[in-house]
Structure 1
């Protein structure tokens, strides 16, 4: 009697652990990374095709990020809705995405469509300072 009960409980416990981990592999690495970006910047109007292109360019540039551990981490971050405050990897990817868009050239206007322009490389475009005071919205009159 106890053995059957133990086997049932152990089987249910193993299934409870295995099913979510199988669900993590149901989504591709690119979809998970795009989902993390969309979750982080859900208040912005983002170009979905631009996000997909950024993710392809990012993983083309970062060849080592396709390791098994990095894939599991990114899929886990996507499934758990981890934001940039909780993960340095998410912070790095989302910062690079924002620097690779026209968000700062549009004076950080959250109402405009944010378009991907190309992967940001400070050595190729050293004069494009997105944090320049020229890009900030004008201060309200007092």
Structure 2
């Protein structure tokens, strides 16, 4: 009986294996197919993310380039305005220097005119003085040459 029971157990195990093994293989095959499908899905998602991230990167790069361009344009505008302010300052300084030079020249010209006028006046005065002195000398000489009435 033991042998009979052992044979039944062996037969049962064989039957069980014949039924279970194909099911296990079927389950394994389904699991492998599901894993492959999940892997494909992940790859598609990654590809779509790559496409999206590439588009997003392109958009970010475009915005970054635009911001850099705008920043550069602003810096150029600021530099131009500073340069214009410097040029305006230089022009104003040059105008002030020219005006100051003109004023100094006018003062110098005025001073020369005053000095020339004073010199002319002094020459005229000294000429009159010299003429007066000569006239007095001549009168004195004439008076000295005349015979005096008091001595007789």
Greater RCO structure (CA 8 Å; 6+ sep):
1
TM bucket by the smaller chain?
under 0.3
Q: TM-score w.r.t. structure 2 length?
A: 0.25
- Rg bigger for which structure? 2
